[in-house]
Amino acid sequence: MLKSVDICDQSILITGGTGSFGKAFVRAVLDHCPKIKRLVVYSRDELKQFEMQQEFPQDQYPALRFFIGDVRDPGRLARAMEGIDTVVHAAALKQVPAAEYNPFEFIKTNVMGAQNVIEACLDKGVRRVVALSTDKAAAPINLYGATKLCSDKLFIAANNFRGDRDLRFSVVRYGNVMGSRGSVIPFFMNKAKTGVLPITDKAMTRFNIPLEEGVEIVFWALEHALGGEILVPKIPSYRIGDLAEAIGPNCKKEIVGIRPGEKLHEEMITSSDSPNTIELSNYFAILGSGFTSNKSSYLEALKARPVQPGFAYESGSNPEFLSVNQIRNLIKTHIDPEFQPI
């Protein structure tokens, strides 16, 4: 079995480091590893980098570096990865309607950008790589999901080119992140002030994960993943109707219908994935083709077990659902301590 890695001994780079996940990851790394060698925030937004620099001043966080760059730029990525041990790839374009209108822009960032990250990691001696994915990458019906599926495939296949180096590429896939920019909860919280909540379908369901838990699974993957797998956390679902009730019980609920590119229920593991899916205590792992003939060694290494044939992990059939009160408590805990239903 390959040994786990202590990330506190590493130099780490995060792409998309000024986004919702990026900021939470940076804070968690600095809290967990106050003497980390180097932590590089790689993003294209100079204003967000400036704002982060105020939150994490250089005199208090001397290991933190800010690198302006785009994942579309392979030369800049290569320069940024000099001396880097670990890469977390969080940069992406992710708004579904924008992807339908601007498809090739999403391809350039989410697919070609992913390959640029991979090649820079291969060329610069990086040892651990974890890329973030989305439930929309499982059986995608919109362009955003299709680009993330391509990205997942690229990162898993990158393990084929590592040779005899101790280099691992893994993917973490999860559902809606509470409070992230452009997500449904802050959208509903703002809309509730108008007295009307637009609802696609009351029966629509989504997976739910707090930002902090999303960071935790990336930490786990960096330390324990063997490379070539898509890790999926076991997380609860909610119904859009319950979410609306939790945020705006006195608001008018206006049914607007499902938008192009949306599903009634999201999947993270399809039944077609079941032959290559294993179950751990807190996660599932979809094994890449490199593990087809070596599945037993993975099961033994991580004390896992195969799932049943035809198994699927879908938000609508998830055994764990959040109640209205649980949703309200999570909003207070993870988004706004002063939150009150309207």
In a domain, 67, yes or no: yes
**C-alpha Rg value of the chain to the nearest Å:** 20
Beta bridge partners of 171: 131, 230
pLDDT at residue 294, rounded to an integer: 63
3-class DSSP assignment, residue 185: helix
User: Quick check: is 285 in a domain?
Assistant: yes
Does pLDDT of 290 surpass 80? no
Residue 291 has pLDDT above 70, yes or no: no
Instruction: Give 152-169 pLDDT, tens digit per residue.
Output: 999 999 999 988 888 999
Where does 180-236 have alpha helices with state H? 184-191, 211-224
Q: What does the pLDDT average to over 77-98?
A: 96
Residue 274, pLDDT score: 95
Q: What is the pLDDT of residue 115?
A: 98
Phi-psi region of 117 (alpha: psi -120 to 50; beta: other; left: phi over 0): alpha
- Active-site entry in 136, 148, 191, 263: 136
If you search the block for the tokens 């106050």, which residue do you land on? 34
Interval 57-84 mean pLDDT: 97
What are the residues whose beta carbons fall under 8 Å from the beta carbon of 190, sequence distance 6 or more?
none
User: Is residue 296 situated within a structural domain?
Assistant: yes
Rounded to whole angstroms, the Cα distance separating 312 from 296 reads 21
> What domain count does the chain have?
1
Q: Does residue 197 fall inside a structural domain?
A: no
Task: Report the pLDDT value the prediction gives residue 305, as an integer from 0 to 100.
Answer: 92
Residue with the bigger pLDDT between 76 and 223: it is 76
Query: Which structural domain, as residue segments, surrounds residue 39?
Result: 7-174+209-235+268-312
Query: Is the predicted pLDDT of residue 2 greater than 60, yes or no?
Result: no
- CA nearest to 208, candidates 323, 341, 46: 323
Q: Is the residue at 338 inside a domain? A: no
The predicted structure's pLDDT at residue 3: 40
Residue 146 Rama label (left phi>0; alpha psi -120 to 50; beta): alpha
Q: Is residue 298 part of a domain?
A: yes
Structure tokens at 96: 């579904």
For the CA atoms of 11, 41, 95, 176, the dihedral, rounded to the nearest 10 degrees, stands at: 50
Query: What is the predicted pLDDT for the residue at 320?
Result: 97
State residue 288's pLDDT score. 86
Mean pLDDT along residues 32-49: 95
Over residues 310-334, the pLDDT tens digits come to 999 999 999 999 999 999 999 999 9
According to the model, what pLDDT value does residue 289 have? 72
Q: According to the model, what pLDDT value does residue 282 have?
A: 93
Where are any strands of DSSP class E within the chain? 11-15, 38-43, 64-68, 86-89, 128-134, 168-174, 176-177, 196-199, 205-209, 229-233, 237-239, 252-255, 267-269, 277-279, 283-287, 305-306, 313-314
Query: Parallel, antiparallel, or unpaired: how do β-strands 11-15 and 176-177 relate?
Result: unpaired
3-state SS, residue 137: helix
The verdict on whether 136 is a catalytic residue reads yes
Q: From the CB of residue 37, how many other CB atoms can be counted at a distance below 10 Å? A: 14
Q: Decide: 89 and 156 in contact? Cβ < 8 Å.
A: no
286 assigned to some structural domain: yes
pLDDT band at residue 300 under the 50/70/90 scheme: confident
- State whether residue 262 is helix, strand or coil: coil
% residues pLDDT > 90 (the chain)? 84
Mean pLDDT over the full length of the chain = 93
* CATH label of the domain that carries residue 51: 3.40.50.720
CB atoms closer than 10 angstroms to residue 35: 9
Burial readout 117-132 (b: 16 or more C-beta within 10 A, e: otherwise)? bbebbbebebbbbbbb
Average pLDDT over residues 249-265: 92
More confident residue, 261 or 31: 31
What is the predicted pLDDT for the residue at 25? Answer: 96
142 pLDDT higher than 70: yes
Task: Indicate whether 99 pLDDT > 80.
Answer: yes
Q: How far apart are CA 137 and CA 147, in angstroms?
A: 8
Residue 5 in this model has a pLDDT that exceeds 80: no
Residue 291 lies in a domain: yes
**Cβ-proximal residues to 317 (8 Å cutoff; 6+ apart), any chain:** 265
DSSP 8-class letter at 290 = G
Give the burial class of 300: count Cβ atoms within 10 A of its Cβ; 0-12 exposed, 13-18 middle, 19 or more buried: exposed
Distance, in Å, from the CA atom of 132 to the CA atom of 222, rounded to the nearest integer, reads 12
